[in-house]
Amino acid sequence: MRVIAGRARRIQLKTIDGQDTRPTTDRIKETLFNMIQSRLAQTSFLDCFAGSGGIGIEALSRGADRAVFVEQNPKAADCIRQNLKATRMEEKASVMVCDVLTALGKLERDGRPFDTVFMDPPYNTGWERKVLERLKDSNLIREDTWIIVESSRETEFSFLENTNFCIVKNKEYKTNKHVFIEKKSE
């Protein structure tokens, strides 16, 4: 796995051994960032279920000013720190070693909203719904914040009908998909 474009282009990123994380492939990462590139300059990026940090680091490499990585696995969080050091982006990032819902509570007390929230939770566990329900009234997102969920192709998002969110874009791949969500216009 490597950084595809930007300031840290071609730098190899470490991942942890085993099945505890599932790094996004370079091809899928490239497609994702081609879709959001115009929204990255001087923005803040929240990477939930961050794994090795590849998505948030790519955002920093391509122009985001700040990234927060949330990862509860201490080995994966250490891997994120190593990757931030290798890409010389430690100054623009912070790593939270806790579960996502706890991290969201801590971040809400800080009160700084994010321009993009990315999450890649374990597939088919219902975490997408838990996090989106937590974010629906949160001060971490604004009207123009994009929430991007990487999930299995089978994951249903029909529960969004009963929230203040809507799907603005859906990109399917062979085994997974990216769902782009934002607040409904009032």
Residue of 148, 167, 147 whose CA lies nearest to 157: 167
Residue of 184, 4, 186, 11 whose CA lies nearest to 89: 11
Largest CA distance in the chain: 46
Average pLDDT estimate for 56-68: 93
Tens digit of each residue's pLDDT (9 = 90 or more) over 72-105: 999 999 999 999 999 998 999 999 999 999 999 9
Tokens representing 178 are: 């990216």
List, in order of start, the domains of the chain with CATH numbers: 39-183 (3.40.50.150)
Within the chain, strands assigned E span 44-48, 66-70, 93-96, 116-119, 146-152, 165-172, 176-183
Average pLDDT estimate for 26-43: 87
Other Cβ atoms less than 10 A from the Cβ of 147: the count is 25
Q: What is the mean pLDDT of the chain?
A: 89
Lowest mean pLDDT across 23-27, 112-116, 130-134, 182-186: 23-27
Dihedral sign for Cα atoms in the order 70, 169, 144, 141: negative
> Phi and psi dihedrals of 27, rounded to 5?
-65, -45
Other Cβ atoms less than 10 A from the Cβ of 3: the count is 24
Tokens representing 67 are: 């990234």
Average pLDDT estimate for 125-152: 94
Residue 102 and residue 70 in contact, taking contact as beta carbons nearer than 8 Å: no
Q: What is the pLDDT of residue 109?
A: 94
**Res 5 pLDDT > 80:** no
Give me the residues paired with residue 12 across strands.
2
